[in-house]
Amino acid sequence: MTCFRVKSALVTLVVLYCLNGTLALGLSPTESSVTELAPGVFFRKAQTEPTFTGCNQGWIIFKDFVLVIDANFPGQAKQVIRLIREQTDKPIRYVFDTHHHGDHADGNSKYVRLGAAAVASERSRVMFDTNGAAEFEKSQKIKPDEYGPLNYEKPSVYFPHRLVIDDGTQRRVAPVVMDYQRSPSRCPVAEVVD
């Protein structure tokens, strides 16, 4: 696979993600769908009607592991783990939380239980510590069947400006960079680094 194809797929993933998929994949989807943007690069458009099920997500299958973009709600995390297991048995090593909202990070415990590290920008740490924790507790009361006895798992790895995830090969997926210096909004900029 060429770096150009990987870069195009990752840019498409981020654009779809940041647009919340609404413009690019149709208005108010009534079911979730998964699209493989490039070999090993997946985008999951979440159902929003008649019930909002959670955020759009993505995952990238690297040489020896999987990176998930946004943990989602716990119930959705369970579904995404099942979808990933249909593609690969490689361990899910990272779950990248774009921000603290429950539909993006409350499923962290499902991934941490599998051995993954939750990762986020240092700029989001305060929000995870305050609003994220408070919103998680509120959701436990509102949705006891989904949240049950789960513990709040905030990210264990925070990066200051730039995070490079590199599987050591240029043939599969080149290193992915999440760069918040160039993207002050909550949406990461992903690019392939040669």
State mean pLDDT over 133-141. Answer: 94
Name the least confident of 3-7, 83-87, 110-114, 115-119: 3-7
The most confident of 23-27, 52-56, 87-91, by mean pLDDT: 87-91
Is pLDDT of 177 > 70?
A: no
Cis ω before 149 (30° cut-off from 0): no
Mean pLDDT (the chain) is 77
In our burial notation (b when 16+ CB lie closer than 10 A, e otherwise), range 102-120 reads bbbbbbbbbbbeeebebbb
Residue-range domains of the chain with CATH: 3-192 (3.60.15.10)
